[in-house]
Structures are given as C-alpha cells and as structure tokens.
Structure 1
Amino acid sequence: MDVKQHQRFLIPDKSYASIAKREVTRIAEGIGMSANGVGKLNIVVAEMASNLSKHAALGGELLVRVLGAPQPGIEVICLDSGPGMADPSKMQEDGVSTLGTAGEGLGAIKRQSDVFDLYSQQSVGTVILSRIFLNNKTTPGAQAASHYDVGYVLVPKPKETLCGDGLAILEHEKGVYLLALDGLGHGASAHEASQLAVQVFTSSPALLPADALRNIHQSIKRTRGAVGIAANISTRSNRLSYCGIGNIAGKLYGPDGSYGSSSYKNIISYNGILGHNIPTTLNSQELEWGRHRMLILHSDGLKSRWDLSKYQALNRHLPSTIAALLYKDHSRQTDDALVVVCRSKP
C-alpha cells in the first residue's frame, strides 16, 4: 500500500468551507482527477462542512489524503465531537433531518462516494469517511490477493507540513508486513529519520521483525533517530510476529471480536532509540492471529489510555474509521500522530 500522510483542515465554522474546498480541489487536480471526480469531491467537502456547522457546536476537522495503488484517488474523513446520532442508518436517508432542513447531506455524500463509512454515537460524536477514485478499475489481482483490511491516520503536528511519524504496509501472498514509526521530535528532521527507516524496511521486508529493526538501527545512525514496531502477520501460520523499540504502543484484539477491555494483549517494546541505542539482545515475539483479530499500533501522539469498549459495533466499520475515531478522541494535538489498524478480512 502506498502510504501518504493526511492533510488537516480545521472547520470551526462554515466560513472555512471554501478554503477547504479550494485546497482539496488543488490536491485532486494535482493527481489527475477528472472534472467529474473533482465535482463529486466538492459536493462531499461542502456537505461535510455544512454538517459540522449545523451539528457540531465547536466545529470539527477534515483529514484529506491521496490514495495510491491499487485504487488511486482521494480520501476525506470528517471528524467532530458533537452530540452524535441516535440512528445513523436512518439519518442517511434523504429527507431525514434533526434540524428541519432538506436532509440531503449524508445521502449526498454517500451517493458521490466510491467508498463510504459513517460512525456516529451519542456522547461520542461522528466520523464520516468518503473515498473517490480516479477510476473504478482496480490494479489486476490486487483485491483478490488481499487478505487484510488496513487503515490508518497519519497527521503532522499542528502547524507543521511534514509528519515525523512513518508507516509501511506491504501485503504479499504469505501475509502482511507492517512498520510503525515515530521520528524523534517533529518536523523535517523527524520526517527524515522515519522516511529513511521506511526505505530500509521496504528494501528487505521479509526479515524477522527483530532483524528488521537491527537493520534500521544501523542505517539511520546519522539521523535524529526513531522508535518503532515491525510486525509480520502470516496468513499460512496464523501468527503475528513483532518487535518494538521505544515509546510506541500496540494492542492485539480478539478472537471474539468484542473489543472489550479484557479482550486484548499489549504489544510490548524494548527500551531504546533506533539509530542511537538498542539492546544487545533483540527477539521477535509471537502471538496467535486469526479471524476477528485486530491489531492497533500508534505513536505517542495518541494518549495511551483509550478503550475500544466505549464504541458500539466497531466490527461493522472500516479500519480507517476506527483509526480516525481514536485520533479524534485521544490525539494529544501537540505532536505528530499515527494510528494504524489491521484486521483479517471475513
């Protein structure tokens, strides 16, 4: 998967909608999206901004990223901590409104989207995800070979343009390789460290996770350094193998799919900093993988005290939506933020 960072647009009130539309249009035209696709995207952004101004007293934000192969396009995620909806499915029907308006907003977003997901819960707020592709043709064999749904949120520190966190997602016929990173600090130097680590990892992804981190450690010594977790999920053995260095966290949920507070195992990392100091002895750890299991990894841009049991029916939603929920409710807003969610397809 081609990983791109999200661009963040704060929408404190409806006057900011035109700024967001203009910038999203520029991004879409920059990747060659057709006038028809840009038109759909403008409708999506306008309706999202309108919903924020009507229903979220404190406004909200849009996260926008370019989608790479196998289906290039644009992803827009709308976040708010407003009152939430009692019946999200009903609110997607045209003509249904809580404010006496035309009630076309969510329905319009869904119609324009190639992929649409809506999570809303009273006292939690709302996440709306829309993806619009350049075309509807997938790279041949890409979907057939995919055994996993992987989604993420990757956002720079407020007022920064480059994200110091990094991510690699490499799916193959035997499973999927993941690397979640946090370059020390933020800005250009942190970005340089994390991106060099990603390049090193993707050049030799089949290494055992502990060996992959040793390789990264040797290769980024002239950078600021980073912390990270390397993981390999094997389709054949149904095992998760991982190794972590430093202050980066993870949880493995399952196999009951309940996401309760007692249904996960913590992903434990060694002390150290890649590129500076790591333990002499590093071992990859293994946990059982299988249907209904879900892995969440995140940088310290996310507060550690989060609990999935507060969110209803998460198993019905996309991994990117789950990542966005965690970002919305637990981001520190003082650092780069990475949340990646991986689970097996049904």
Structure 2
Amino acid sequence: MGPVIAVGGPLLLDCEDSAWFRDQPEAARGAAAALGRRVGLGEHRTAQLVLAVAELATNASKHATDGSVVLRVLRNRDVAGVEVVVVDSGPGMADVATALRDGVSTTGTLGIGLGAVQRLADRFDIHSVPGLGTVQLARFWPHPLPPSVAGEAVVGGITRPIGGEEVCGDAWAARTDTGERTERTERTAAVRTERPDRVGTAFGGALRASAGAADGSVPAASAGRLRPTGGPGKVRSELVHGAVAGSGPGVLVMSCDGLGHGPMAAAASQAAVKAFRQGSARLPDQAVQEVHRALRGTRGAAVAVARLEPDGRVLFCGIGNISASVVTPEFRSNLLSHPGIVGHQMRQLRTYEQHMPFGGALVMHSDGLSERWKPGDLGSFLHHSPALVATGLLRHAGTRRDDASVVIAKGAW
C-alpha cells in the first residue's frame, strides 16, 4: 500500500491514523502506547515513544498556549513507525539550542525533557519564535533503523478535523512515478493524442492580471513556466505549448478536500487517496481523471495534483477550492485551479507548468486555511522538514470552521 520509491530517489512516506489531543497528556500517552504496539515498534521502542510523548504533552499542557499533540502512523513498503507533532501558540523559546541542553529548566525541574526526546527520536525537528509559539516533530521507527527510512521525507503534511468531529474530510498523499511506461499508460497516451477535445491537457491563455500584488504573490500563467530573474522575488513567464512528464522519476502529490465534513467527506477523501496511490497516471490531469472515476457514488471532492520533476519543473492540475503555490521566502506564485467537483462534474482539465526555484517549496492546502498568508510567514520555516512547515502554516492560517489540511513538498532533488 506504500508508495513506490525509486532506487536512490526521494524518500516518501504514507501518513495515516492521525489523532489530535489538546490538554490530554494521559490520553496521548495511552494512544502512543497503543500505536507503538499496533505498528510493531517493539516493547522497548514503544516505551521510549511513550516517554517522549509524556514529556512533550506535559510540557504543552503546563507551559504552552493552545497546545496540541498529534499522533499518526508513518509507513512505506518495508516498515511502519509513529510520528509525534506538537504545536502551540506561545510563549515560544528565545534560545532553542539552550532549551535542548540537559539541566535547563524555567520551572525548577531537572530540565531533561526536550534533550531526552531529541536523543530518543530517530528524527527530531523544532521551530520556535518568542511570542509566536513552538512546533516540534519527533519520529520513531523500529530499531535497528531500516535503511529505507533514513533521511527526511520530501513530502509532509497535516490534517485537522473541524471542531466536534473525530474524522477529517481532508487528506493528502504522495507517490513516485519511476518513468517506466506500462501498457496502460501507453493506451492512455494514445487516447489523449486521438481525442484531445475529450481527454487530456489543454494549454494556452495568458498571464492573469494583477501582477505585483501587495503580498508579494505572482499570478500563475496558463501553461507558463516561471523562472527567477532580475533579483530575489522577481519572476518572468515563458509560455510553453504542452506539459510533458520527464523520462526519469517524478514525485506526484495530491491534496483532497471531501465535500462538507464528517464521515461522508472522509469516505470521499480516502477513496481519492486509494485511487491516487494505486493509479498509473504520469501527468496531474491524468491522475485527477483517475480520482474522478473513483469518486463517482461519493459526495465528491476538491482535488489538486502536482508533479515535481528533477529538472525543476512543477506540473499542476486542480479542480475546486484547493490553494496551491510555489513559495520562497521572497515570493509566492499561485497556481490556478478550475471550478468543479471531482466525482461529479468537471470542465476540461488543464495542466499548468512552473519552475521550482532553488530553496523553494510547493504548498497546497484546503479552504480550512485562509489564503491571506504571505511568503514571509513561511520564511523562517522553509529550512525545516516539510511536515513541520505544514504544521506551522496550519497554526498561522488555519480556521476552526472547517476541516483543514496542508501538504508541503520541498528538496525532492
């Protein structure tokens, strides 16, 4: 069920079974113990996971403002592990390095909590700003650590259900395309060539008006490729006639917002995830078509799919209210989605092409987040892991009036 991982290619991990705990240290500890046993961490490793969760959850409950603990399962074809994400809205830390040292405490305790978590976890990441808050991530795999999960995943995200619901109608997923053409993809390519009016990618159009927005965003071009030029934050568009998947491996990322919220929305988004993971599409518009067929009979969803190429291209196709952007600390270039409901009604699909600047990231999120965030809001986050960046954006721009999800892709090559 895990994604196909090309040999020597980017690390991708499936993420599932997310659970949020707010001011519930004991509940978080119990859930961590159950998850560790279920995924096969082993008795000793599960005990270390529970210890780390106890430290993080207790700290959030005692010291943080609006602190939450998220537990979820990560897996690939070889192994499953548990990830712990802790997010709060204050007071933050002025010196993270000092806070991680043993013996440092602001409340008179031994002050070994964060240092112990950092040593116990296979992966630990933290970002904190005084007055803004802290985001922490700790990842636990069985030991010895499997080689297939060494390093950092290039795609990470987070989902949060609307208040009062236990399941989230939003979802995200990622997979790799090895570049190998199967009999099925050959047939699809033939159909796209013979019937471009019915199936496939349409290109053309012009730059959307409103260049030079106050927030630093840059409108997307229809089938345009954006390249940095003339200094930081400035781009130009080079129109191309068609998007073509590269011959090598590409990373495909999907964001899905099931219509409404609750169990029926969650059923639609999980059907989309299943179809996306099992699909053979190479281009984003083909992947959306595969998801569209799978969502017939459900309430439908907004869906966006992006493909990241080793040559720096980003191919994108979106239907509905999924927001997508290519972001650096200096600028945000928005990608264009079209109206419709995947699974019910869609206009002709269009794949757009942009360039990923060095150090940039692909950001996709549902309308459970406001679109009014600026590139600078992510500036200090962008050198962290994708999952931590996603959590920081959710804290900054998320609303409580709907399910919410964010997925970030960065550093794929």
Normalized against structure 1, the TM-score is what?
Answer: 0.88
| Contact 1:5 1:153 (8 Å CA) reproduced | no
- How many angstroms apart in 1 are the aligned matches of 2:41 and 2:325? 37
| Contact 1:3 1:68 (8 Å CA) reproduced | yes
Classify the secondary structure of the residue corresponding to 1:51.
helix
Q: Does 1:227 align with 2:235?
A: no
Q: Does 1:18 align with 2:26?
A: yes
- How many angstroms apart in 2 are the aligned matches of 1:42 and 1:101? 20
Which residue identity is paired with 1:339? V
The residue aligned with 2:7 is none
The residue aligned with 1:36 is 44
| Contact 2:177 2:282 (8 Å CA) reproduced | no
Instruction: Using the TM superposition, give the Cα deviation of residue 135 of structure 1 relative to its aligned residue in structure 2, in angstroms.
Output: 2.5
Q: Does 1:73 align with 2:54?
A: no
- How many angstroms apart in 2 are the aligned matches of 1:185 and 1:161? 14
Alignment counterpart, residue 105 of structure 2, candidates 97, 101, 104: 97
Instruction: Using the TM superposition, give the Cα deviation of residue 334 of structure 1 relative to its aligned residue in structure 2, in angstroms.
Output: 2.8
The residue aligned with 2:19 is 7
Alpha carbons of structure 1 residues 107 and 293: separation in structure 2 relative to 1, 3 Å: same
Which residue identity is paired with 2:368? G
Instruction: Using the TM superposition, give the Cα deviation of residue 199 of structure 1 relative to its aligned residue in structure 2, in angstroms.
Output: 2.5
The residue aligned with 2:317 is 243
The residue aligned with 1:339 is 406
Instruction: Using the TM superposition, give the Cα deviation of residue 290 of structure 1 relative to its aligned residue in structure 2, in angstroms.
Output: 5.1
**Bigger CA radius of gyration:** 2
Q: Cα deviations across residues 155-204 of structure 1 (Å, max 9, x unaligned)?
A: 33333233211222002441201111001011221122122222222333
| Contact 1:5 1:155 (8 Å CA) reproduced | no
For structure 1, the residue ranges without an aligned partner over 5 or more in a row are: none
Q: Cα deviations across residues 110-134 of structure 1 (Å, max 9, x unaligned)?
A: 1111100111001210011111112
Instruction: Using the TM superposition, give the Cα deviation of residue 291 of structure 1 relative to its aligned residue in structure 2, in angstroms.
Output: 3.2
| Contact 1:71 1:139 (8 Å CA) reproduced | no
Q: Which is worse superposed, 126-135 or 44-53?
A: 44-53
| Contact 1:28 1:38 (8 Å CA) reproduced | yes
| Contact 2:160 2:168 (8 Å CA) reproduced | yes
Q: Cα deviations across residues 257-312 of structure 1 (Å, max 9, x unaligned)?
A: xx23xx12012100111122211x22200001353120010111122222341456
| Contact 2:325 2:364 (8 Å CA) reproduced | yes
Mapping of residues 152-167 of structure 1, within 5 Å: 152-167=157-172
- How many angstroms apart in 1 are the aligned matches of 2:395 and 2:303? 22
Q: Does 1:86 align with 2:154?
A: no
Q: Does 1:197 align with 2:287?
A: no
The residue aligned with 1:138 is 146
Q: Does 1:210 align with 2:285?
A: yes
Classify the secondary structure of the residue corresponding to 1:266.
strand
Alignment counterpart, residue 277 of structure 1, candidates 345, 356, 365: 345
The residue aligned with 2:369 is 302
Normalized against structure 2, the TM-score is what?
Answer: 0.75
- How many angstroms apart in 2 are the aligned matches of 1:192 and 1:311? 31
Q: Which is worse superposed, 43-52 or 215-224?
A: 215-224
Alpha carbons of structure 1 residues 232 and 59: separation in structure 2 relative to 1, 3 Å: closer
- How many angstroms apart in 2 are the aligned matches of 1:336 and 1:119? 24
Classify the secondary structure of the residue corresponding to 1:332.
coil
Alpha carbons of structure 1 residues 245 and 320: separation in structure 2 relative to 1, 3 Å: same
| Contact 1:272 1:278 (8 Å CA) reproduced | yes
Instruction: Using the TM superposition, give the Cα deviation of residue 71 of structure 1 relative to its aligned residue in structure 2, in angstroms.
Output: 4.8
The residue aligned with 2:173 is 168
Q: Which is worse superposed, 191-200 or 40-49?
A: 191-200
- How many angstroms apart in 1 are the aligned matches of 2:319 and 2:412? 29
Which residue identity is paired with 1:163? C
Q: Cα deviations across residues 313-342 of structure 1 (Å, max 9, x unaligned)?
A: 323311111111112232212322211110
List structure 1 runs of 4+ shifted beyond 4 angstroms: none
Q: Does 1:64 align with 2:64?
A: no
- How many angstroms apart in 2 are the aligned matches of 1:175 and 1:103? 44
Q: Cα deviations across residues 13-42 of structure 1 (Å, max 9, x unaligned)?
A: xxx312221122112111122121121112
Q: Percent identity?
A: 35
| Contact 1:117 1:128 (8 Å CA) reproduced | yes
Classify the secondary structure of the residue corresponding to 2:97.
helix
| Contact 1:5 1:163 (8 Å CA) reproduced | no
Instruction: Using the TM superposition, give the Cα deviation of residue 50 of structure 1 relative to its aligned residue in structure 2, in angstroms.
Output: 2.4
